Amino acid sequence: MELFPNITVITTRTALVRSKIPGVDYVINPYLGCGHGCRYCYAVFMRKYSRNHARSAWGEFVEAKVNIAEVLQAELSRKKRRGRVLLSSVCDPYQPAELKCRLTRSCITILGEYGWGVDLLTRSPLVCRDLDLLTALPDVSVGLSIPTDDDRVRQTLEPQAPPIGARVAALQRLRQAGLKPWVFIAPMLPLNPERLYELLAPHTGRVMVDPLNYRGQVRALFRSRGWDYYLTDAYAAATRARLEELFGGRDI
Ligand code: SF4
């Protein structure tokens, strides 16, 4: 995997950010920006928090919070109760910059030392680099985002994110390591439910689905591909129903 070329080093004053996401107490985002550059990304608003890249295209910059592990350690040492943390909410914790910067790995190491619960959600097989660490954690959940079965769709909408086949292979490795990974089919991009089920079912039955919420952002692109139907409520409802039917009740 090529290193993301444009990494800016920054420092942060906070690591843990309170969250209203169900099931977690805090989120940690080791990076500002995301090298995966998904065309539909909901996190593009984060650009306004960048001193260096407020006008850069999303996906073409990433800022690495190089002191985040140190800050996290100090924050955890002051907490009276353990909590649960999601990495990440507005970036991918295993985006290409992580290969070099290892900030996610450092944060997970510290969270494990303090016995905190960790939820990881990523599009990248780079998560498998940390299997040694993840399998030793007392309480961890790993999710792979796999929003389509069709790698041509992935190339159009997630141009810098790893191929679908590589994510499925990562799922397999995580499961073989005993981690019971789950899949976030989100956002539901153009997909074939039966084919996606065939790809995922051998490796997990635990899936969550979510529709494409920021449709305006990709409307022109979808139109240019003749994908108008995939932006409709009818597509979202029918696809969710079929996926729930296919995966219903399975938990392996
Ligand atoms: S991986 Fe997630 S945070 Fe990164 S660009 Fe894609 S949707 Fe946005």
- 214 contacts: CB under 8 Å, gap ≥ 6: 40, 41, 42
pLDDT at residue 128 tops 90: yes
Distance CA 108, CA 114 (A): 10
* DSSP reduced 3-state for 44: helix
Q: Which CATH superfamily is domain 7-247 in?
A: Aldolase class I (3.20.20.70)
Task: Name residue 185's beta-bridge partners.
Answer: 209
Kindly report the protein residue whose alpha carbon is nearest to atom 6 of ligand 1: 38
Digit-coded pLDDT (tens) for 68-127: 999 999 999 999 999 999 999 999 999 999 999 999 999 999 999 999 999 999 999 999
Structure tokens that stand for 55 in this block: 């006008």
Question: What is the residue extent of each domain of the chain?
Answer: 7-247
Distance CA 154, CA 72 (A): 34
Residue linked to tokens 């990495």: 87
pLDDT at residue 12 tops 60: yes
For the chain, give the mean pLDDT: 94
Atom nearest to 37 CA in ligand 1: 5
pLDDT at residue 15 tops 60: yes
Report the separation in Å between the CA atom of 165 and the middle of ligand 1, taken as the mean of its atom positions. 18
Report the separation in Å between the CA atom of 122 and the middle of ligand 1, taken as the mean of its atom positions. 9
Indicate yes or no: pTM above 0.85: yes
Residue linked to tokens 């999710």: 143
Whether residue 190 has a cis bond before it, omega within 30° of 0: no
What is the pLDDT confidence band of residue 214, given thresholds at 50, 70 and 90? Answer: confident
